[in-house]
Structures are given as structure tokens and as C-alpha cells.
Amino acid sequence: MAITGGFGGGAGGGSVEVIGNGIVIHNEGQLSAKPIVAVGPASVENPEGIGGPIVIRAEAPNFPLGKLESADMGTVGDKVIAIRNTTLYRARLLVLCGATVAPDPAMIGGFYTLPGKNGAQLVAPRSYEALTTRGKVIEIPLAYPDTMAMPYIYWSLDAANPGGGTVDIYLYGDVLKPLED
């Protein structure tokens, strides 16, 4: 295959041999070709497309699935974390951080897939007193064995933090089906 003119920026240039199967970009009359680059969490395999297809993938784990910022620690009951990026996923990690006050050890709560501590229990009731400052982080690996098509998960406090305050909650995992509809 030969491309004439314009390639490489020179008008009226001679024919140019194109090797491989890489991406050729047509930009208002100019043709250019360059390797694909990706920034995490995306990665690219065979970026020049020579000898095989270009493969782009999202690196797992730690792909954001949903979040609840400023979750109220001062009341019992369900705090809803909406899943935003996927309709079918595997949940792998919960991260809590950004606590506005240090929670008392008496604050106990778990994570569930339905309100009122129903559905599957993702995290058994536990305390969160390690969140002593805004910068502290609690990571909770999840072991839920099945794929999930749950639009929400719930942080349900059995006992509220006497001093109130809020905390940010992030859910990470693998996107099996992206949110398209």
C-alpha cells in the first residue's frame, strides 16, 4: 500500500511505504501514524499494530465502581453507594478515608447488597477507629464470590459515631460490562 502526498507534512512528496497494520489518522487532509499510548488504568498491548491487533484493556484491580462521599457517621441505618460505571462487575476492594472526625470504637457497621442489612453481607459489622485523621485510609478487601449486577450497596451502621462526622467510601473492582444503557 502506498500513500502519496501530505504524509509527513510535505506537500507533493513521493509515495510512502506503509508497513504494519497500525492506526493511520486522517486529520483534515493530513495523514499521520503513530503508536497508541495509554494512561493507567488503561494499558495497550502491541501499540504499533505490527504483526497483530492492537489490544487496549483496563488494568484490574482498583477500577472505580462507585463512591459515597461524606457518608454520615452520626446516624444509624443505610448509607447508599451507587454503582455508576458498570452493570456487571466484581467488587474487590472498599476504601474508606477522609473522616472528618475520628470515629469512636463504638461505631459499628457492615456492608450489604440490600437495605436493612439484607441481601449478601459483603463486610461483617466492624469498627473504623483507625480513621484517626482525614488522611488515614482503611482498605477492606472483599471476597464476594459471584458477579454482581447490584445497582447499590449499603453501608449500614448498627451504632452511630457519638461525635458525628462524615467519611468518604469508594468501591473498586472489575468492570465486566460497562454501563451503556
DSSP 102: P
The rounded distance, in Å, linking the Cα atoms of 134 and 49 is 46
The residue among 105 and 151 lying less far from another protein, judged by its C-beta, is 151
Q: Which stretch binds another protein (CB under 8 A): 41-49, 82-90, 100-108, 129-137?
A: 82-90
| Smallest gap from residue 105 Cβ to another protein (A) | 28
Residue 91 CB coordination number (10 Å): 24
For residue 70, give the C-alpha cell: 461524606
Q: Which of 152, 168, 174, 175 binds another protein (CB under 8 A)?
A: 152
For residue 140, give the C-alpha cell: 477492606
* 123 contacts another protein (rule: CB under 8 A): no
Q: Which of 16, 119, 140, 159 binds another protein (CB under 8 A)?
A: 119
Interface positions, 47-66, toward another protein (CB under 8 A): none
Cell numbers 472498599 correspond to 94
Query: What does residue 107 show for φ and ψ, rounded to 5 degrees?
Result: -75, 115
How many residues interact with another protein (rule CB under 8 A)? 23
With H, G, I as helix, E, B as strand and everything else as coil, classify residue 7: helix
Chain contacts with another protein (rule: CB under 8 A):
78, 80, 82, 84, 87, 112-116, 118-120, 148-154, 179-181
